[in-house]
């Protein structure tokens, strides 16, 4: 969203588009009343809508400005978040307040927990952990008095150089949608509205307010819309946020195909469609297409504030005029309001609105952050068992006695992503010296670092070893020190932020990121690799990175943006107190030229999905390109084997896949056992698609039989003639293994009618 940056500057479809808030039978008799929560919320919302005046209805469907920036006139009870919509006290309707919350509450001076990035969460492949992640954020939102969390991005990493890759859940629709559904359930279980965003086909930041994603129906349905479909049907979010970009020539927030035909009518979404901040471009077209709430909105359309004049106002007096003249039927306004009231009742906010209630529980938050960081790191390479490190101490005389830690501000802290997906550092930025350019700051240039220094955590793990630190600016001195040490640990970083895309997946240097980078990271790693006895690279990134030095280092550990306890997590992983179990949620290419889109055009607003269905690993498989590391890849300090794969078709068309996973090593560990399907030839499908997985924890020597039910839709293709999912008859092959390209994977062929 652009909220952070705005703050800083700061009748054809009418009836057919509706999902009626209530219905009666043809003979006039009301259907039997039921007491299930959905029915109760529906009846309650219907009763309230009937009691509202027209002005009150209008007031409920748009924001009143941006409190955090002071843009608007707000009562004392308004909170300094992203938006504020006043309640209707006479009817017991509470105010609605929201805050950015991609990986924690993005508000200064609240001491909110900075969790690892959503991409890191996706790398855990653990829906239970995702539910806890959503729960932790919701607890803190509610403690601070907020009604709605604006997290929950699930745009696929079609373009991994996007500045918001770290806010999303990777490149696969099934993984992304499943993980976001679990996060949503965790959030709404705490009586906080969860938002799923940015709907849809919103794949990079360049020209994001004007770009036009040009994509065919089948590609939409089988890739990004599938991720949203899973997240929305399984997670039942209260809010879906439409994106800035156009989709096939029509802005997402006034696009009847995606908002009404698909989201509301086909998927049965009964919550609120909310605009991204400044993404509303019209009144009647947006309302009739399915937009239910305008943000940031404001209470005075005649405001002369430059931000308000730039954004315009479409759902305040203009919507009232459109209802009065009939261009927007009152029934549509009633539906907009009904959706909001139903959501407030169903999530539990109507009866228990959140109120500021004291301080954040930092100990609980830190524990959650550490747990996610330890389970989401991906061990990409580990030649000659370079990791885990063994410390020299009173009981172990054979461990490493000298360690040199190099670069990446490892003496100070760990990196965070920027923009609205950030969380302010509770105790100040660990790294100083970066200066923003003069003048208004629309897009921040300086990264945030949390005070969780890997260096100190490493020293604590190896009290008997000599641990020294070099900042990376003198590669010769650092390389000479590495030549003398038992192990050299090089920290490499790649900062990204909303509002900017990466020019390349290469590690940034002083040319590509002069604000945060004072040396050439690739050159430093090359110099260390040339002399070091054992060289370990720790990556803190929000996207894949290129590694021209990969053959000359011994181990690579990807920790993403690891959150407020990242330094401790890194040390735990390096020394084996935590066994890496993360798997890549997106492919790492060998070079930028291997990406489907060679460059992101700074001038052409047309974003053409020429690769069709071949997003992510499907591209590399279909084009027979060797990735640097494939989707689903991730090593462990133990080893796992697979056996006894079988598959059978169930009566409803689902397929049950069973196989056994065994821990063949000497350490306890967790394995993400993945199942892919190869569809019948001639359908025009990519070679492989993920259809299921199970993360299992096993002791040394322990075996577990895994049974996965693959829903029929996971095997279906989108039929553009009938506009439905279709399971095609023919020969299918199921593949069970450790990644999308496991050479030892098991296969099982079967025919489906």
Q: Which residues are identified as catalytic?
A: 276
Sign of torsion over alpha carbons 13, 16, 22, 26:
positive
DSSP letter string, 334-400: HHHHHHHHHHHHHHTTTTS-----S---HHHHHHHHHHHHHHH-EEEEEGGG--S--B-BTTBTTSB
* Bond before 388 cis per omega within 30 degrees: yes
DSSP element (H, E) containing 734: strand 730-737
**Cα(350)–Cα(348) distance, integer angstroms:** 6
What are the residues whose beta carbons fall under 8 Å from the beta carbon of 438, sequence distance 6 or more?
none
C-beta atoms surrounding 744 within 10 Å: 8
Q: What angle do CA 141, 142, 143 make, to 5 degrees?
A: 95
Contact 431, 115 (CB under 8 A): no
The token duo for 23 is 């219905």
At 425, phi and psi to the nearest 5? -70, 120
What CA–CA distance (Å, rounded) separates 722 from 263? 17
d(CA 366, CA 479): 35
Q: Please state, in angstroms and rounded to a whole number, the distance separating the CA atoms of residues 92 and 77.
A: 16
- Reduced to 3 states (helix: H, G, I; strand: E, B; else coil), residue 118 is helix
Among 507, 490, 496, 508, which Cα is nearest to 557's? 490
Cα(32)–Cα(305) distance, rounded to whole angstroms?
A: 52
- The β-bridge relationship of strands 535-541 and 487-494 is parallel
Rounded to an integer, what distance in angstroms lies between the CA atom of residue 662 and that of residue 643?
8
How many angstroms from the chain centroid is the CA of residue 142? 21
DSSP conformation class of 99: E
């Amino acid at each position: 969203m652009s909220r952070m940056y705005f703050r800083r500057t700061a009748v054809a479809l009418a009836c057919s588009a509706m999902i009626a808030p209530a219905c009666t039978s043809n003979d006039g008799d009301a259907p039997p009343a039921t007491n299930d929560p959905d029915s109760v919320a529906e009846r309650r919302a219907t009763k309230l809508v009937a009691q509202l005046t027209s002005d009150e209805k209008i007031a409920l469907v748009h924001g009143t400005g941006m409190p955090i920036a002071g843009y608007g006139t707000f009562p004392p009870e308004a909170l300094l978040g992203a938006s504020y919509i006043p309640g209707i006290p006479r009817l017991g309707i509470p105010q609605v307040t929201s805050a950015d919350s991609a990986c924690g509450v993005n508000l200064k001076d609240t001491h909110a927990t900075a969790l690892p990035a959503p991409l890191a969460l996706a790398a855990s492949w653990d829906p239970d952990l995702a539910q806890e992640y959503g729960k932790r954020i919701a607890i803190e939102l509610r403690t601070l008095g907020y009604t709605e969390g604006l997290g929950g991005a699930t745009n696929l990493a079609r373009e991994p150089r996007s500045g918001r890759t770290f806010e999303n859940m990777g490149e696969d629709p099934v993984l992304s949608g499943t993980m976001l559904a679990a996060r949503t359930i965790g959030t709404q279980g705490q009586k906080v509205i969860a938002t799923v965003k940015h709907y849809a086909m919103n794949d990079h930041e360049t020209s994001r307010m004007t770009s036009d994603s040009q994509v065919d129906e089948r590609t939409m349905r089988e890739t990004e819309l599938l991720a949203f479909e899973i997240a929305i049907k399984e997670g039942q979010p209260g809010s879906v946020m439409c994106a800035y970009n156009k989709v096939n020539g029509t802005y997402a927030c006034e696009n009847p195909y995606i908002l009404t035909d698909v989201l509301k009518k086909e998927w049965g979404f009964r919550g609120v469609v909310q605009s991204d901040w400044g993404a509303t471009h019209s009144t009647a077209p947006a309302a009739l297409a399915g937009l239910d709430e305008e943000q940031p909105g404001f209470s005075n359309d005649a405001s002369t504030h430059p931000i308000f004049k730039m954004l315009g106002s479409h759902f305040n007096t203009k919507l009232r005029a459109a209802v009065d003249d009939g261009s927007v039927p009152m029934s549509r306004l009633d539906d907009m309001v009904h959706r909001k009231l139903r959501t407030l009742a169903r999530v539990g906010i109507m009866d228990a609105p959140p109120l500021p209630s004291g301080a954040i529980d930092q100990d609980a938050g830190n524990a959650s952050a550490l747990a996610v960081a330890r389970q989401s790191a991906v061990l990409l390479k580990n030649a000659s068992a370079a990791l885990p490190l063994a410390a020299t101490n009173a009981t172990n005389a054979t461990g490493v006695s000298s360690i040199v830690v190099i670069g990446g501000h490892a003496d100070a802290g760990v990196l965070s992503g920027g923009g609205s997906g950030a969380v302010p550092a509770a105790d100040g930025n660990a790294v100083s010296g970066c200066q923003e350019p003069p003048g208004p700051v629309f897009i921040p240039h300086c990264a945030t670092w949390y005070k969780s220094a890997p260096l100190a955590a490493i020293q604590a793990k190896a009290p008997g070893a000599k641990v020294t630190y070099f900042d990376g600016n003198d590669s010769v001195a650092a390389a000479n020190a590495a030549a003398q040490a038992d192990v050299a640990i090089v920290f490499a970083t790649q900062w990204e932020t909303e509002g900017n895309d990466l020019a390349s997946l290469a590690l940034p240097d002083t040319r590509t990121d002069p604000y945060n980078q004072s040396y050439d990271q690739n050159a430093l790693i090359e110099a260390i690799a040339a002399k070091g006895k054992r060289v370990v690279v720790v990556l803190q990134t929000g996207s894949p990175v290129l590694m021209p030095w990969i053959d000359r280092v011994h181990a690579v550990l990807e920790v993403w943006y690891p959150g407020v306890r990242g330094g401790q997590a890194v040390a735990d992983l390096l020394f084996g107190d935590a066994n890496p179990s993360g798997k890549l949620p997106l492919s790492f290419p060998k070079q930028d030229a291997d990406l489907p889109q060679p460059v992101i055009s700074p001038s052409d607003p047309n974003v053409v999905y020429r690769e069709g269905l071949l997003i992510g690993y499907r591209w590399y498989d279909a084009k027979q390109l060797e990735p640097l590391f494939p989707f689903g890849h991730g090593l462990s300090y133990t080893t796992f084997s697979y056996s006894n794969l079988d598959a059978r078709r169930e009566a409803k068309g689902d397929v049950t896949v069973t196989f056994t996973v065994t821990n063949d090593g000497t350490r306890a560990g967790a394995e993400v056992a993945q199942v892919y399907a190869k569809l019948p030839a001639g359908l025009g499908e990519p070679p492989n698609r993920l259809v299921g997985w199970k993360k299992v924890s096993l002791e040394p020597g322990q075996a577990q039989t895994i049974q996965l039910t693959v829903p029929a839709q996971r095997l279906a293709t989108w039929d553009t003639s009938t506009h439905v999912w279709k399971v095609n008859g023919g020969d299918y092959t199921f593949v069970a293994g450790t990644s999308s390209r496991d050479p030892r994977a098991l296969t099982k062929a079967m025919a489906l009618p």
